[in-house]
Amino acid sequence: AGAGLREKIEESLRDVAALADDQVLRRLADLILAVQRTNFYQEDAAGKPLSFISLKIASRELADLPEPKPFREIFMSSPKVEGIHLRFGPVARGGLRWSDRAADYRTEVLGLVKAQQVKNAVIVPVGSKGGFYPKQLPDRSDRNAWFEGGRDAYKEFITSLLGLTDNLVDGAVTHPADTVVWDGEDPYLVVAADKGTATFSDTANAISLEKGHWLGDAFASGGSAGYDHKKMGITARGGWEAVKRHFREMGTDIQAEPFTVIGVGDMSGDVFGNGMLLSPEIRLVAAFNHMHIFVDPAPGDPKKNLAERQRMFDLPQSTWADYNTKLISRGGGVFDRSAKSIRLSAEIKALTGLAKDAVTPDELIHALLKTSADLLWFGGIGTYVKAGSETNADAGDRANDAIRVNARDLHVKVIGEGANLGLTQAARIEFALAGGHINTDAIDNSAGVDSSDHEVNIKILAAEAIRLGTLKAVDRDPLLASMTDEVAAHVLRHNYDQTAALTLAETMAQNDHEALERLMVQLEERGVLNRALEGLPDTGEMKVRSEHAHWMTRPELAVLLAWSKITLFDDLVASDLPDDPYFASVLKGYFPHPIDEFGEAMANHRLKREIIATVVANRSLDMGGPIPLLRLKEVTGADNARAVHGLEAARAVLDFDDFRKQVDGLDNAIGADVQTELRLEAAAALHEASVWFIQSMPHATLTEMVERTHAPLSAFIAALPSIHSPFAAARIERAARALAKRGAPEELARWASAMSHFSQGLMVIEVAERTGADVAEAGGCFYQIGDALRLDRMRASAREGLAKAGFWDRVAGRRLVSEMVRLQAKATEEALGQGGAEAWLATHADRRKDLLATLAALSKEKGWSFAKFALSADAVRQFMAE
């Protein structure tokens, strides 16, 4: 029908003479044809037309919309309210905002959803965001009437969204009655609180329940029967994981050592208030919100100050004016932002570098933002830092133009973004390039949205358990409450892992800058990444940065990590990988332990495939950031799903989770750089083992892969100290001693140092299976041949020599290394059939001398180039062929 209409429209447009008229009519036609649903024909309970009209639009069909273009958007309008809801996939979630921008609320919402997309990389749904603008509010002087007017507008907005959303009835999708529907099934709609709607979740859930929406009170997270973010302190706690990592990597334990803080917010706020209670060592030097400025130039007794902050946090609607000024150090105080001017003490002058005796409140805040401190903690709304290359208009926050500073003028070591948009992305990059420690707001404050997603998915499961009769409805809320701490632990684990992944990515970026350029090109080709929109360097700038050793920063890597997770999730959902029975344990592990008894409800969970894909995508990329998966695909030619298939098998057989737990348990006990080195060793071992699984067992299920190789590989690893060559033994011993000298436990140091041999063990297992030999016997033969032919030395030299080579040399070099190992395995198989390594070597004695002479000649000159390694490999290849 759409195609026929388009043809008729095109025919009619031939009669339009003016270009401008033609353009307007074409765009209007495009818009109408992009509409997927409308409520125009729906009626209320009295049979009368509804008071609002809503349209569901396939936004990507409209050429002139600004980027990024949503998957779908719903626009609604009535005499009372207008609103927009943008979402970037069929399964999406995000907050609804009470907007005060009559003319451009869609622009406001689009800017917010851009960040939400990235933040949602850690959870099941993709990003969405909504905003509504009430048009008939009473005068604001009557605060209660004004607030209730906003709530009424919100109700109509929510009703309009649900009115175009499918429902699930007895497991079957049903369209809304009296609705024009051009698209397919679309039942998932989940919302959350945002600016102005913090207390509206129960209102939204009441409408959902009234209309019989299948999600019930899971429709709007954070209601009275949900997880209270402020009580949990979850957003601040998640951000604090990021802050702790920054300091830990600088050699400071902020839970045990004093540090100074400048903050944005007040103690009544969720993120700022909870954040300033998370360490007994906080020395809060200054903070401000929209009402007051708090300055304590030389904070005194930290225990008393912490107790006072706790008192204020517990005090309903407290402000900085409630702070006990007797605890503030000499020269400090609490100042009103509405004051005409503020007289400065000698202590504040010394703290800020201001010379004047009196300044305006904005001047004082501007100076405080540039004051030296260890941590700048964002816990309030506003954009306070831009890049030197940006204008205030670029920051998009006119209210704070007078106090905003440039990132290059900051004098803090670490920035924690508990709140959104505290800095522009360009400012983050500028701060990081200058040596500052920072992630992004999407990384630091993802715990809130993560907690909400757990809530929604638990409620969906609980509803199914109630339907099945395995859970009583009255027991649901107590069950949810009993799992609060475990949900929080799951969420904080994500914050820990994701920031660790950024550290690994940052380290790898220095050694493989080109890989990140290739990754960005791939994401651009998929149509998901817009470098200009994300503030990422283009190809030319990447080359310049490489020349000046200005590697990609954590804020930039955070964006690439997020988009890598998003695309990996999409590919996993589109594949059959989530259907592998092996991942039943992944689904079970996503939920808190009390959910275990509801196995049938869990198996019936509508989003079980998406949950599995989310968990697997996150852990695949948290093991090393985006570069290892890119390399794995480049080496094997596998797509995302096949690469993860191999990676999951490697993860299991190498006991990666146990290794990771031991490394993570060493926080603040050994240097963070040593932990990073241990993690990099594991990432390299996982890569090699994954390559083997992808190439050697391409059609096996994960269960088959693991069951066939786990026990034999464990036997190989146990035998390794007694079977490897003297050369390998010496290298492992040197590496283990070096790690132990830097604080790593001896056993863990040896484990990490031997990991590079584990993938060879997989080839040995294959040989043992074909020959009937014991794994230890086959391994001994393998290493004896490698030592006699100097293959282990050649591979080690090649790896070290090619580490800094160009991309294609490294790719070709890795393939040659893999080929050499396969040839060694083939020789091992022949040797086991001829009585062992010594007998086999004896039959090849003359040619062995020639090979060793060739290798010796090639190794006379120091340094290994790709050309030398290729010639060496060719010599080995000829030796094995004869």
Q: pLDDT, tens digit, for every residue of 329-366?
A: 999 999 999 999 999 999 999 999 999 999 999 999 99
More confident residue, 640 or 806: 640
Chosen domain end from 375, 405, 436: 436
> For residues 593 and 571, what is the distance between their CA atoms, to the nearest angstrom?
29
For residue 810, what pLDDT is reported?
A: 80
- Find the length of the chain: 882
Same-domain pairing of 189 and 268: no
Task: Assess whether 349 carries a catalytic annotation.
Answer: no
309 plus 397 within the same structural domain:
yes
Contact present, 451 and 210 (Cβ < 8 Å): no
* Cβ contacts of 14 within 8 Å, gap of 6 or more: none
User: Are both 54 and 129 inside the same structural domain?
Assistant: yes
CA angle in degrees (0–180, nearest 5) for 478-482-483: 125
Could you tell me if residue 38 is inside a domain? Answer: yes
Assigned domain for 175 exists: yes
Supply the mean pLDDT for the chain. Answer: 94
Contacts of 525 (CB under 8 A, 6+ apart): none
H-run or E-run covering 504: helix 484-511
User: 882 pLDDT exceeds 80?
Assistant: no
| 611 occurs within a structural domain | no
Q: How many domains does the chain fold into?
A: 2
- For residue 687, which of 714, 641, 650 has the smallest C-alpha distance? 650
56, 114, 119, 129: the active-site residue: 129
Quote the pLDDT of residue 10.
84
The tokens describing 395, both together, are: 């920051």
Kindly state whether residues 128 and 185 are assigned to the same domain.
yes
The segment with the largest mean pLDDT, out of 8-17, 142-151, 358-367, 506-515, is: 358-367
282 and 220 belong to one structural domain: no
Residue at which a domain ends, from 372, 405, 436: 436
Give how far Cα 339 sits from Cα of 201, 295, 321, 323, 778, Å.
Answer: 37, 15, 14, 18, 82
Which of helix, strand or coil describes residue 263? strand
**pLDDT: which is higher, 854 or 57:** 57
> Is residue 387 one of the residues assigned to a domain?
yes
Q: Show the tokens assigned to 299.
A: 């904070």
Here the CATH number for the domain that contains residue 390 is 3.40.50.720
Tell me the average pLDDT across 88-99: 93
Same domain for 264 and 213: no
Question: CB count, 10 Å around CB of 836?
Answer: 17
How many whole angstroms separate alpha carbon 160 and alpha carbon 51? 10
Amino acid letter at 591?
Answer: F
Task: State residue 64's pLDDT score.
Answer: 87
Q: How confident is the model at residue 807 (pLDDT cuts 50, 70, 90)?
A: confident
CB 314 within 8 Å of CB 284: no
Average pLDDT over residues 189-208: 91
**How far apart are alpha carbons 323 and 169 in whole angstroms?**
54
Contacts of 458 (CB under 8 A, 6+ apart): 480, 483, 487, 591, 592, 595
| In a shared domain, residues 208 and 276 | no
Per residue in 836-853, pLDDT (tens digit) is 999 999 999 989 999 999
Range of the domain at 279: 250-436
Of 801, 813, 794, 721, nearest to 761 (Cα)? 721
How far apart (Å, rounded) are the C-alpha atoms in residues 126 and 123? Answer: 8
Residue 527 backbone zone (phi > 0: left; psi -120 to 50: alpha; other: beta): left
Tokens of residue 116, six digits: 């939400």
- Are 274 and 193 within one domain? no
Q: Residue 198 above 90 pLDDT? A: no
Question: Given a cut of 70, is residue 249 above it in pLDDT?
Answer: yes
Residue 325 covered by a domain: yes
User: Does residue 219 share a domain with residue 288?
Assistant: no
Asked, for residue 391, whether it belongs to a domain, the answer is yes
* Beta-carbon contacts of residue 269 (< 8 Å; ≥ 6 apart): 289, 379, 380
Decide if pLDDT at 1 tops 70: no
DSSP H/E element including 82: strand 81-87
One domain for residues 184 and 265: no
Domain end among 436, 453, 471? 436
Which residue in the block uniquely carries the two structure tokens 């009583």?
472
Q: State pLDDT tens for residues 573-587.
A: 999 999 999 999 999
Tokens of 132: 């509504």
Tokens for 739, please give them: 């790690």
Say if CB 147 and CB 128 are below 8 A apart: no
Tell whether 282 and 427 lie within a shared domain.
yes
Residue 436 has pLDDT above 70, yes or no: yes
Q: Say if 557 falls within a structural domain.
A: no
On whether residue 853 sits in a domain, the answer given is no
Q: Which among 427, 503, 567, 487 is positioned nearest to 117, based on CA atoms? A: 567
The confidence band for 795, taking pLDDT boundaries of 50, 70 and 90, is confident
Q: Are strands 373-378 and 259-264 parallel, antiparallel or unpaired?
A: parallel
- 204 and 275 assigned to the same domain: no
**pLDDT band for position 799 (cuts 50, 70, 90):** confident
Query: What is the sign of the dihedral through the CA atoms of 798, 800, 801 and 807?
Result: positive
Alpha-carbon Rg for the chain in angstroms: 31
